[in-house]
Amino acid sequence: MASHKNANPRGKSCEKLQQLKLEDPEEKKKLVQKNKEYSRYVEALRAQMREKIDMYNIHLPPLCFCGSGFWDTHPDSCANNCMFYKNHKAYAQALQNVISSCDILDRGSNTRLSVHTFAVVHARSKNS
C-alpha cells in the first residue's frame, strides 16, 4: 500500500511535467515574438534618435573604447575586459547619463522624449 501512495504523487508529478512540456513550445513562441518586437522597436527608436541627433549636429562621445563612436558601442560586441561586456544594465545607465547630460537636446522636447524613451526601452528589453 505504501508503494501505491508513493507512486501516485510521482504520477501526478509526471503529468504536470508533461503538461509543462506541452505548454513550453507555445510559451517559447510567445517569448521569441516578444523579443523580436522589442528588438524592432529599439532599433526603430535608435534610428529615429540618430536622425534627430544628426539633424541638430550633436556629437556624442563613445561610451567605451570598443567602438569607434557612440553608435558602435554595444554590450554584446564589447571586448571581454570592457565594463559593458554582457552588462546591459550598466550600458543602459551610461546611455541614460550621456543623453541626460546633453544640454543641446533641450531645443525640442520631442527629441528629448524620444531619446529618453530609447534609453528606457533598451534597459527594459535587456533586463527582461
Number of residues in the chain: 128
Task: Give whichever of 50-54, 76-80, 113-117 has the largest mean pLDDT.
Answer: 76-80
In a domain, 10, yes or no: no
What average pLDDT does range 79-99 have in this prediction? 85
* Residue with cell string 533586463: 127
Residues 38, 121: contact at Cβ < 8 Å?
yes
pLDDT in tens, 28-76: 888 889 888 877 877 777 777 788 788 888 778 888 898 888 888 888 8
In a domain, 53, yes or no: yes
In a domain, 4, yes or no: no
Give the predicted TM-score (pTM) of the model. 0.52
- The tally of domains found in the chain comes to 1
Does the structure show a pLDDT above 80 at 21? no
In a domain, 32, yes or no: yes
In a domain, 79, yes or no: yes
Range of the domain at 109: 25-124
Residues 119, 95: contact at Cβ < 8 Å?
yes
Residues 79, 85: contact at Cβ < 8 Å?
yes
In a domain, 94, yes or no: yes
- Please give the grid coordinates belonging to residue 124: 527594459
In a domain, 8, yes or no: no
pLDDT of residue 79: 92
In a domain, 11, yes or no: no
Residue 91's pLDDT band (cuts 50, 70, 90): confident
